[in-house]
Amino acid sequence: MRTNRALRVLLAAAAVLLAGCGLQSGGSVPLPVGPGSIVADPALRGVPITVGSKDFTEQNILGFIIEFAMVAAGAEVRDLTDIQGSNSLRDAQLSGQIDIAYDYTGTGWVNYLGNETPVPDERAQFDAVRAADRAAHGIVWAAMAPMNNTYAIATSRRTAERTGVRSLSDYAELLAADPAAAATCVGTEFSVRQDGYPGMARAYGIDNGRAQKRIVQDAVVYQATADADQCAFGSVAATDGRIPALDLVLLEDDRAFFPKYNAALVMRAEFADAHPEVARIMTPISRLLTNESITELNRQVDVEGREPEEVARDWMVAQGFVTKE
């Protein structure tokens, strides 16, 4: 299955290149499903729907969940998951290369809409993004999930016990006193996003120039932080399955800097208005996407080595939304 996954990634990359030329492209849905509680909807029968996602485990799982739901509803679904980075996914959506994806309210509010101050309440953050993005870009947000994949700084349990660092304020104090003791592995995107390290440093009075940051691929951060050989701390996504598997501890964001990152459906307004059935079908699915459930699905991929499409399909079957074919 890993060979199939690699081929899918190559096809998705090629599709994004074609999208830059103004062409629609995409692959087929990787696994067949049949109807469960989701049955063929006459309004969606044969409707072409291209589903996108970003290029990390959770996003691929969420993308496949949409695909399997839409297949069961009777749509003609194209797979354009695994697009590299938030901005590329957003550009593909704005240009009409994809019709629907799950994205995160914090990313919408800060990265896409350019706000610097997050809205503390999850629902209020969603409502603010939904209103502003439709008005500014004709983008509809719908079916918000309880899961909140916020950014966080993590450390190993033994490092937390040794240093006494339990919060980001503790981390800032340790860094000021001994920068080497607070060496931090930072993911590439987190290192430059204003809702990432630069903004966190401002909020907690961290001297960015003194901070010993090692910018690495996101996948490297978790094991490096657990081993504590390269880094005592690391930037993580709060719902990543490797956090419990590696016994990492999330530092408390005691100044409430990080925005809420609830997953929600994102669609262009003309698509959402033409096909209201999509949000109706996806809403009960989104309700079941809690931090606990998505962390477990992520763990099955990143720790057990399962394919994200299999994990997504099996979860949809277990919840009764679809059946295996």
User: What digits encode the pLDDT tens for the residues 183-211?
Assistant: 999 999 899 888 899 989 999 999 988 88
Q: Inform me whether the pLDDT recorded for 93 exceeds 60.
A: yes
Cβ 94 vs Cβ 134: under 8 Å: no
- Per-residue tokens: 34: 């049949």
In angstroms, the CA 292 to CA 170 distance is: 27
Q: Do 2-148+261-324 and 151-250 agree at the fold level?
A: yes
Please tell me the predicted confidence (pLDDT) of residue 138: 98
Closest CA to 64 of 261, 236, 321: 321
Q: Which CATH class is domain 151-250?
A: alpha beta
Mean pLDDT (the chain, rounded):
92
Please tell me the predicted confidence (pLDDT) of residue 116: 82
Side chain identity, residue 147? M
Please tell me the predicted confidence (pLDDT) of residue 25: 59
Q: What is the mean pLDDT of residues 22-33?
A: 77
Q: Give 9's DSSP letter.
A: H
Model confidence band, residue 118 (pLDDT cutoffs 50, 70, 90): confident
In angstroms, the CA 42 to CA 28 distance is: 21
Edge-to-edge, what's the strand order for the sheet holding 76-83?
A: 76-83, 48-54, 100-104, 263-268, 139-142
Among residues of the chain, what percentage have pLDDT more than 90?
Answer: 84
DSSP string for 34-58 = EESSS---TTTTT-EEEEEEESSHH
- Per-residue tokens: 271: 């698509």
Domain ranges of the chain: 2-148+261-324, 151-250
Model confidence band, residue 26 (pLDDT cutoffs 50, 70, 90): confident
Cβ 98 vs Cβ 51: under 8 Å: yes
Q: Does domain 2-148+261-324 have CATH number 3.40.190.10?
A: yes
Please tell me the predicted confidence (pLDDT) of residue 131: 98
Phi, psi of 30 (to 5 degrees): -70, -25
Cβ 154 vs Cβ 225: under 8 Å: yes
User: CA torsion 85→86→89→92, rounded to 10°?
Assistant: -110
Q: What is the model's pTM?
A: 0.86
Q: Inform me whether the pLDDT recorded for 281 exceeds 60.
A: yes
In angstroms, the CA 129 to CA 141 distance is: 8
Please tell me the predicted confidence (pLDDT) of residue 325: 87
- Per-residue tokens: 194: 């204003």
Please tell me the predicted confidence (pLDDT) of residue 208: 81
